[in-house]
Amino acid sequence: MTILQVDANSAYLSWTAAALLEQGYPVDIRTVPAVIAGNPKNRHGIILAKSIPAKRFGVGTGTSLFEAKEKCPGLIVMPPNFDLYLACSDAMVDIIGEYSPLLERYSVDECFLEYRECAARRLSPVETAYEIKERIKGELGFTVNVGVGRNRLLAKMACELQKPDRVHTILNDEEIRSKLWPLDVNELFMVGRATTRKLRKININTVGQLACADPVLLRTMFKSHGTLIWRYANGIDDARVVPGDELTRKGIGNSMTIKYDLTDRDEACGYLLSLTERVGIRLRRHGYKASLVSVGVCTGNFVRYTHQLKLPFFTADTTEIYNYACRLLFESWRGEPLRQLGVRVGEFAREDEYQLTVFDMDRLEKDEALNRTVDDIRRRFGEKSIYRGRYANSAFNPIEGGVNGGNFLMMGGFRQ
């Protein structure tokens, strides 16, 4: 068995750069100090992705935008665009899916596929890796790394060896010893900071030293996790590629950090509506209906809790999901100031797998027709081309989050 892992290089920044260049932006932000970060005025001022030139200034993912600008005053800052990221991810998956039916979308920017010789191409695993890499670069405008290994773990570790725009292999014992074992132990998958500190205390600093350590000692120190990392250090992994989409197996959700601590019920409903709009669009784009609705909150004191409901039916209707989200919020919210809200749906069925009952068929078919029409208008003319009627007299931007909600839609000016 041979596994390939495809991982987009600096995904958020690369996808933003490709989109900007297509729109005529004069600079490729991958070649200058640049970051993807939220607006600190909205309490989002964290670096989500950075360019290689920004990294040379010491700018790191997860640091504050304020700190990054102190290190690099000329830093270019671009806002995140998660709809763009999902579209780029889908396009990447479409290309990769041509090479094997055994494709697992592990995250928004990485996929595993089990190599199967294609009769039309007759390419080796490494030739397949290079073709995928070059096609994505040529057709989509961003680069990927491709790792080729005899199992998932080795494909993932090979993919991380040197970036960007590379193909690496770890296919046999010799490559395990020459490529995997010299790595610092903290670079091994599933070895975190706490585990690294404990390993260094017993003079285990490289993956090779971990591979040669006494597995009984490791199990004594780390229990079952010690056995797992010893197996990984030796290149042993029995996990198979599970065809499907990890994004939808985990659920589809959206969350929002609010500019101020929120206490008003009507405003909370507005924010939930805005979040549910995005969740509904993504749910329908994937071709799913959901039977589980969950709402999560973070209070001003950073206390987090969630509340969920299993529905007796499946739905992809924005209004229906929104109504249940409001019900869940008000069943769990005790009135304390809210800093963050989130909506998530799960436990899916394909749209063509779910049979409507005679009682709800007429209503749901009308709702679904309306949702499809709205999605199509937004796809063709932009998200701001159509919005809910309760936003009509509000200065609030319904695409970014709202203080209103409602069941009716009105047309805004179409904008390309």
Give dist(CA 383, CA 221) in Å, integer.
53
Give dist(CA 401, CA 268) in Å, integer.
10
H or E element in which residue 24 lies: none
H or E element in which residue 261 lies: strand 252-262
List, in sequence order, every residue forming a beta bridge with 111; answer none if it has no partner: 6, 105
What tokens were used for 369? Answer: 């027709």
Question: What three-state secondary structure class fits 400?
Answer: coil
Q: Assess whether 368 carries a catalytic annotation.
A: no
Q: 104, 110, 131, 267: which one is catalytic? A: 110
Edge-first strand order for the sheet with 167-170 is 167-170, 144-149, 3-8, 110-114, 103-107, 244-245
DSSP state of 177: I
What tokens were used for 208? Answer: 């090779």
Residue among 117, 111, 191 at smallest CA distance from 155: 111
Residues 287 and 247: beta-carbon distance below 8 Å: no
- The overall longest dimension of the chain from CA atoms, in Å, is 69
Residues carrying an active site annotation: 110
